[in-house]
């Protein structure tokens, strides 16, 4: 495969900018021969081209703003390890390549840089990682769908049994099928008993029906439905299945203890005998969606032992706390996920600058501009490579919980309010502001937009709220800055953000 077409476009834009600045003749050849090996060493500074301009109601100048610097060595090579002190001259517009050969070497250096980044991000390990991620996603969705199909089939089977049942006593339905007595349904639960229950003694029948009514008083059907939902979501986790089995066992023990409270030893013995008889008569296991009286053989001995001894069961007391803890952990995992990073902000020493990286010195606008969020937690820097995006990051990502207010960093006019920026939904809800000096700012993945196109906003005004619309891994703000139609590093107007960055963001910044 070949590098993206934008590399060629950037090189062509660069050549035009150099000719325009230096006053070179418009008739310069499109292709120049390689420079001679005796070319003296020198210093090259050139304008870097930007990405396609943001659609706007006003025309934007094509002149880029950022400057990239590199050392030219004898023989036409470019030194990629220039010292950081040389970057101070990047903000000057006076130094322009003096010869066409130098311009060609600078163009080649820019193209080689983007080609190397593209090759690294599309390397075999990166492709394997993306493939593995998509395979796991497909497997997970398939597992959830399989569990959902099983639940639907179970509901259909229960409806068939209830349709074939006939009323027996108050709130009890009787069906001629070798099933276990069970409590079925959520909105209108009913007790479903088999016809062979008539062969039990009246005391045993009364105790069994009381067992099912105890499930209803304890709201066990709704707890079981929550457990089945969690089991479907975490189908790949064996610990979740084991926890579900223990929960069912605790519910049965709790009902047994409540039914047999203040009962005589003879009644306890009769209740245990009914449990054993039911296990022998039922031809199929209790249905997964219903709370059944009959147990499997593995838990039979424990239930009978508890019935005979009358020991208090602590499962009922601990059950609400266990379910509350599971619900809190699940909510934390879903709602509090970070945006592209999972570590707390840390301060670190800035990485060694690369001579071919765009300069990010603070511009005069940074003095007047304010941060778009009250709490800045950078999870991805401008220009950071990503195997998921397939190209260097065009802005910064600021991790924030859903609904965090977004402030206008400077006075401006609302230029764009859309849900499909550049015809794509991956950016989610987007707002673009136009500021003075042909500067523009973009805000993506918003949960809500509070402004309309053409409205004037003042510095600090709330224009929207953060969210995770579009293609996003979690709630965050994607923030971009454009200068005369070219993307620039937001740090040029906001100042250094290193102290507010996560460890993953600093690591990605060091490798760009």
Task: Decide if 243 contacts 255 (C-beta within 8 A).
Answer: no
Same domain as 169, residue 310: yes
19 or 149, which is more confident: 149
Share of the chain above pLDDT 70, in %: 63
Closest to 47 in 3D by CA, of 73, 15, 79, 83: 15
Convert the pLDDT of each residue in 280-303 to its tens digit: 776 554 445 455 555 555 566 667
Determine which of 82-86, 162-166, 273-277 has the lowest per-residue pLDDT on average: 82-86
Q: What is the pLDDT of residue 313?
A: 46
55/19 same-domain check: yes
State yes or no: pLDDT of 421 exceeds 60. Answer: yes
Do 411 and 328 share a domain, yes or no? Answer: no
pLDDT at 308 over 90: no
Task: Please state the rounded mean pLDDT for residues 211-240.
Answer: 87
pLDDT of residue 444: 96
Q: Is 483 left (phi over 0), alpha (psi -120 to 50) or beta?
A: beta
Residue 177 and residue 306 share a domain: yes
Please check whether residue 42 lies inside any domain of the structure: yes
Q: Is residue 131 part of a domain?
A: no
Q: Give the pair of three-digit tokens for residue 128.
A: 């394997």
Say whether pLDDT at 322 is over 80.
no
Residue count of the chain, please give it.
512
Residue 136 lies in a domain: no
Q: Are 144 and 234 in contact (CB under 8 A)?
A: no
Same structural domain for residues 113 and 178?
no
189 and 263 together in one domain: yes
For residue 133, being part of any structural domain is answered with no
Mind listing the pLDDT tens digit for each residue in 436-489?
A: 878 999 999 999 999 999 999 999 999 999 999 998 888 999 999 999 888 999
**pLDDT reported for residue 33:** 45
Which domain-ending residue is among 90, 121, 152?
Answer: 121
Mean pLDDT of 250-268: 83
Q: What is the pLDDT of residues 353-408, one digit of tens each?
A: 333 333 344 455 544 689 999 999 999 999 888 766 667 888 999 999 999 999 99
| pLDDT tier, 85 (very low <50, low <70, confident <90, very high otherwise) | very low
Give SS3 for 204: helix
| Same-domain status, 376 and 493 | yes
Say if residue 322 is in the same domain as residue 207. yes
Please identify, among 334, 349, 378, the residue that sits at the C-terminal boundary of a domain: 334
Taking residues 305-314, report their average pLDDT.
Answer: 56
Residue 129, pLDDT > 50, answer yes
Higher pLDDT, 214 or 442: 442
Residue ranges making up the domain that contains 415: 365-510
Here the contacts of 255-260 (C-beta below 8 Å, separation 24 or greater) are 255/211, 255/214, 255/215, 255/218, 255/220, 256/211, 256/303, 256/306, 256/307, 256/313, 257/306, 257/312, 257/313, 257/316, 258/214, 258/218, 258/316, 259/207, 259/210, 259/211, 259/214, 260/307, 260/310
Residues 6+ apart with CB under 8 A from 395: 382, 442, 444, 478, 479, 480, 481, 487, 490
- Interatomic CA distance for residues 124 and 219, integer angstroms: 54
Residue 340 forms part of a structural domain: no
Name the more confident of 16 and 501.
501
From CA 392, how far away is CA 50, in angstroms rounded? Answer: 12
Query: What is the rounded CA–CA span in Å between residue 64 and residue 495?
Result: 20
Q: Is residue 429 part of a domain?
A: yes
CATH code (residue 397) = 2.70.70.10
Of 66, 87, 121, which residue is a domain's last? 121
Q: Is 225 found in the same domain as 163?
A: yes
Would you say 161 and 179 are in contact if contact means Cβ atoms under 8 Å apart? yes
Q: Are 68 and 90 in contact (CB under 8 A)?
A: yes
**CA distance linking residue 179 with residue 201, whole number of Å:** 18
pLDDT given for residue 387 in this prediction: 60
Give the distance from CA 66 to its chain's centroid: 32
User: In the structure, what pLDDT confidence band is assigned to residue 144 with cuts at 50, 70 and 90?
Assistant: very high
Number of domains composing the chain: 3
Answer yes or no: do 172 and 299 share one domain: yes
pLDDT: is 13 or 210 the higher one? 210
- Provide the pLDDT for residue 81: 41
Percent of the chain at pLDDT above 90?
Answer: 21
Mean pLDDT of the chain: 72
Residue 146, domain member (yes or no): yes
Q: How confident is the model at residue 99 (pLDDT cuts 50, 70, 90)?
A: confident
With respect to residue 349, please indicate whether it lies within any of the assigned structural domains.
no
pLDDT of the residue at 158: 83
Specify whether 99 is located in the same domain as 176. no
Is residue 300 located within the same domain as residue 154? yes
């Amino acid at each position: 495969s070949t590098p993206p077409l934008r590399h060629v476009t950037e090189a062509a834009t660069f050549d035009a900018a150099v000719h325009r600045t230096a006053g070179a003749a418009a008739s310069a050849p499109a292709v120049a021969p390689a420079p001679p090996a005796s070319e003296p060493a020198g210093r090259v500074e050139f304008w870097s081209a930007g990405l396609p301009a943001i659609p706007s109601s006003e025309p934007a100048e094509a002149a880029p703003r950022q400057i990239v610097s590199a050392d030219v060595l004898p023989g036409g090579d470019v030194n990629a390890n220039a010292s950081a002190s040389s970057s101070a001259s990047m903000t000057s517009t006076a130094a322009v390549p003096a010869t066409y050969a130098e311009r060609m070497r600078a163009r080649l250096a820019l193209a080689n840089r983007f080609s190397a980044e593209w090759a690294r991000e599309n390397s075999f390990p990166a492709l394997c990682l993306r493939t593995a991620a998509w395979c796991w996603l497909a497997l997970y969705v398939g597992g959830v769908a399989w569990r959902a199909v099983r639940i639907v089939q179970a509901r259909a089977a229960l409806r068939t049994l209830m349709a074939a049942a006939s009323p027996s006593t108050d709130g009890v339905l009787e069906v001629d099928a070798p099933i276990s007595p069970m409590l079925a349904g959520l909105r209108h639960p009913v007790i479903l008993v088999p016809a062979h229950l008539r062969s039990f003694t009246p005391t045993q029948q009364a105790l069994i029906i009381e067992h099912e009514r105890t499930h209803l008083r304890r709201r066990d059907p709704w707890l079981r439905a929550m457990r089945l939902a969690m089991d479907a979501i975490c189908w790949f986790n064996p610990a979740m299945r084991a926890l579900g089995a223990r929960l069912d066992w605790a519910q049965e023990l709790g009902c047994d203890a409540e039914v047999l409270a203040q009962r005589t030893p003879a009644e306890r013995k009769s209740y245990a005998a009914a449990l054993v008889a039911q296990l022998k008569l039922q031809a199929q296991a209790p249905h997964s969606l219903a709370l059944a009286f009959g147990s499997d053989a593995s838990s039979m001995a424990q239930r009978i032992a508890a019935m005979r001894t009358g020991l208090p069961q602590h499962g009922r007391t601990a059950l609400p706390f266990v379910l509350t803890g599971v619900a809190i952990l699940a909510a934390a995992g879903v709602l509090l996920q970070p945006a592209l990073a999972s570590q707390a902000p840390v301060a670190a020493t800035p990485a060694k600058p690369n001579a071919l990286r765009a300069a990010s010195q603070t511009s005069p606008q940074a003095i007047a501009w304010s941060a778009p969020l009250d709490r800045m937690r950078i999870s991805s820097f401008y220009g950071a490579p990503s195997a998921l995006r397939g190209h260097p990051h065009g802005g910064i990502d600021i991790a924030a919980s859903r609904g965090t207010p977004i402030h206008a960093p400077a006075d401006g006019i609302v230029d764009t309010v859309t849900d499909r920026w550049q015809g794509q939904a991956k950016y989610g809800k987007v707002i673009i502001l136009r500021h003075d000096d042909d500067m523009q700012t973009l805000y993506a993945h918003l949960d809500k937009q509070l402004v309309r196109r053409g409205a004037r906003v003042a510095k600090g005004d709330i224009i929207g709220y953060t969210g995770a619309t579009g293609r996003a891994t979690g709630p965050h703000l994607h923030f971009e800055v454009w200068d005369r139609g070219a993307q620039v590093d937001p740090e040029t107007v906001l100042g250094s953000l290193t102290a507010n960055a996560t460890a993953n963001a600093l690591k990605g910044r060091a490798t760009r």
